[in-house]
Amino acid sequence: MKQKRAWYKLDNAGKLYPSITSTRVSTVFRISASLYNPVDPEILQKALNNIIGRFPYFKVNLKRGFFWYYFEYTEKYPQVQKETYYPCMFMLYKNKNSFPFRVLYFNNRISVEFSHSITDGMGGIHFLKSLLIEYFRLLGIQPEFQEKISKEEAEDAFKRYYVKNIPKPAKLKKAFHFPFKLNAKGEYYIITGIIPVNMLLEEAKKYSASLTQFLLALYFDTIQEFIRLHPCKLLPVVINLPVNLRNIFPSKTMRNFFISLTPQIDFRLGSYSFEEIINYIRNYMAIALNKKHISQHIHLNVKREKTIFIRLIPLFLKNLMMPALYNKFAERNYTTGLSNLGLITLPKSIENLVERFEVYPPPSMGNIIKVTTISYKDKIYISFGSLTKNTEIEKIFFRKIRKMNIPVKIETNRE
């Protein structure tokens, strides 16, 4: 008798991504770890084979249902690949037998690229950490901890924390967008700034701000300076700030569990000093980053998915409508995005074998420049992912940090 195959519904946030994926909007993000020695692809493959069973909800193929996509468990194993393309390139994961993630290696670097349909940054980091621990275990370095598998890992935490009958959050309006020309299809540029995290934290402390708040203020100030130097049609500047909800609503889910906060400053009102921007952000965070406000966002997301009229629309029609709706209700209302994945730690035994972590945002046509940051040991890695050749924003941002007398090292995949 044929064995029953496990299948998973896509989580609330993940449901959107397969429908809006295109060759340009890959919805793929990358998390990578650079080692001090070249990566051995055979050991990496063995490590991947050993750990993938621990993540059954990733060992899947995307399939088409009549109303929604779903993930079906597969007996096949993903293969590691040598990196040859631009980062975060589109995945044809709707094709048969292809996984919604890839594991890449190049010289000293191991990268995992995930389709956002399957997990978010935190899930990706957990997977990469497990892969690294197993890789080094196969090289003879035993980690000093054993990890417990939780049943919660495969849950859709949005559904668990959905509260019925509460009002929706306020609607956003069209935001300012960078007037840059798009680059050729298939190209994606990354500029990473490597900065001593302590120096940046000290600077943030001067304004009584957290690191995320400080970076956010710096980014707003960068955009303000860009607008001053290049006068153009103004609209409010809105930065999409994804927030990991696992700390606020306890869950061990490895699937998507984040919502986007949207701090906004309208520079039509006049010029803002850096103190004013920081002050606004601190107050905004106090208002927005609490259970009640976030429940409203979870409510809106889950309610949209639960609406019977939306559920009854056949998948092919959803695929036709979704890109336009996503633009109308999401990307059109953001200027750009900034995502801070926080400080990464590894078990002591392998900590000194990994030089750094980096994370690259998914390319997006609505927000052609996005920023992601990650800290490891004493450095913070700030990566700008860009679909344009213009580097004005990156230039202003990093020069601002240099002006604070903080050293910045720049790396890029641009020619």
Closest CA to 158 of 245, 55, 287, 71: 245
Residue selected from 7, 76, 179, 228 as contacting other proteins according to rule CB under 8 A: 179
Cβ nearer to other proteins, comparing 349 with 412: 412
Which residue intervals of 245-375 are DSSP H helices?
274-288, 291-306, 308-312, 315-329, 348-351
Q: Cα–Cα distance between 273 and 265 in angstroms, integer?
A: 12
Residue selected from 66, 75, 92, 308 as contacting other proteins according to rule CB under 8 A: 92
Q: Cα–Cα distance between 384 and 190 in angstroms, integer?
A: 6
Cβ nearer to other proteins, comparing 109 with 304: 109
164-181: buried (b, 16+ CB within 10 Å) or exposed (e) per residue? Answer: eeeeebeebeebbbbebe
Tokens of 129: 């950490």
Rounded to a whole number of angstroms, the minimum distance from the CB of residue 408 to other proteins is 4
395 near other proteins, rule: CB under 8 A: yes
Residue selected from 100, 121, 123, 193 as contacting other proteins according to rule CB under 8 A: 193
Residue selected from 63, 72, 107, 198 as contacting other proteins according to rule CB under 8 A: 107
Closest CA to 116 of 260, 271, 296, 291: 260
Cα separation of the two ends of the chain: 56
Pairing state between β 237-244 and 258-261: antiparallel
226 near other proteins, rule: CB under 8 A: no
Q: Site for other proteins (CB under 8 A): how many residues?
A: 38
Binding mask of the shown chain, residues 45 to 84, with x at each position contacting other proteins by CB under 8 A: -------------------------------------xxx
Residue selected from 7, 77, 85, 329 as contacting other proteins according to rule CB under 8 A: 85
173 near other proteins, rule: CB under 8 A: no
Q: Cα–Cα distance between 245 and 260 in angstroms, integer?
A: 10
Rounded to a whole number of angstroms, the minimum distance from the CB of residue 341 to other proteins is 19
Selected range binding other proteins among 106-114, 132-140, 251-259, 310-318, rule: CB under 8 A: 106-114
Residue selected from 120, 156, 187, 331 as contacting other proteins according to rule CB under 8 A: 187
Tokens of 186: 């298939």
Interaction site with other proteins (CB under 8 A): 23, 34, 82-87, 89-90, 92, 106-109, 179, 184-187, 190-191, 193, 233, 391, 394-395, 398-399, 402, 407-414
